[in-house]
Amino acid sequence: MTALDTEVRTADAPLTIAGRALRSRLMVGTGKYRSNEEMVAAIEASGAEVVTVAVRRVDLDRSVEEGVLHHLDPERYLLLPNTAGCYTAEDALRYARLGRASGLSDWVKLEVIGDEETLLPDTEATIRAAKELAEEGFKVLAYTNDDLIAALRLEDAGCAAVMPLASPIGSGLGLVDPFHIRTIKARLSVPVIVDAGLGTASDAAVVMEQGVDGILANTALAAADDPVRMSRAIGMATEAGRLAYLAGRMPKREFAVPSSPTTGMLDEG
């Protein structure tokens, strides 16, 4: 078997959302990096094509942050403006429309938060906003709970992808409920991207082994001691988990089964 054969036998179809084939199943955020230089290096190392950004007021005194567009090439990355920080459907619509008015992307990562302490989503408001945005022609990727009914309603609302959480935003707890994530994946036709809560590379692999279509991670990369190494690790783990899912794992047994032959031993009668 040649190296080319191996390539062919391990090939995977690209993740495709709203008709666009993406070069990676990992999407990454741009928040919380210690510097813009580190952010750019980490995103490059992750292999991600879809990159989320937030919409905020320009600092007219220029004392704090300059825009992310000074550092990221919109030709190389597909920008995914989010509605982070919005607590009502109306605010989310306003932020989504501002993001699209940049002229750089008609995709939106819709999130409507329902509770300040847990940052868990307000699914009712999210569904309402998703319907409106989809009607306006947005490609809506909606952040939601790991709840099947909310996910189905978001698909019905016209979302291009549905993004259930692994665990609360920024928690690093990893996938707390594989069963509900698998249930959502089994029932939806649009891509399922698990968003929020990953902490390290093994979390990404476990999520992808559930059979979902992709992952979105931010804090796991940005808050690592070395974001560039962690970004590469999570990129590799996303691929590894996907491949393991496609390969189909062996059944679990609570007893040992030898992996070497039990016959042909020396001194056999």
Partner 1 sequence: MAEIEVTVNGDLRRIPAGLTVRGLLSHLELHPGMIVVEHNRRILRKEVYDDVDVQPGDELELVQFVGGG
Sites of contact with partner 1 (CB under 8 A):
29-33, 39, 52-58, 60, 65, 67-70, 79, 81-82, 84, 97-99, 101-103, 169, 196, 216, 218-219
Q: Least Å distance between CB 198 and partner 1?
A: 11
Residue identified by tokens 């679990």 is 252
Give the residue with the Cβ less far from partner 1, 93 or 159: 93
Q: Least Å distance between CB 220 and partner 1?
A: 10
Catalytic residue at 252?
no
Give the residue with the Cβ less far from partner 1, 9 or 57: 57
- Strand-pairing partners, residue 140, are 108
Please identify which of the residues 109, 131, 139, 185 carries the catalytic annotation: 109
Give the residue with the Cβ less far from partner 1, 6 or 118: 118
- Would you tell me the crossing angle of helices 123-135 and 89-100 to the nearest 10 degrees? 40
Contact 160, 139 (CB under 8 A): yes
Contact 220, 192 (CB under 8 A): no
DSSP 198-237: --SHHHHHHHHHTT-SEEEESHHHHTSSSHHHHHHHHHHH
Stretch (H or E) spanning 183: helix 178-187
Q: Which has the closest alpha carbon to 167: 130, 219, 241?
A: 219
Q: Least Å distance between CB 140 and partner 1?
A: 17
Q: Least Å distance between CB 42 and partner 1?
A: 11
Give the residue with the Cβ less far from partner 1, 56 or 180: 56
Give the residue with the Cβ less far from partner 1, 153 or 214: 214
Q: Least Å distance between CB 61 and partner 1?
A: 10
Which residues are known catalytic residues? 109
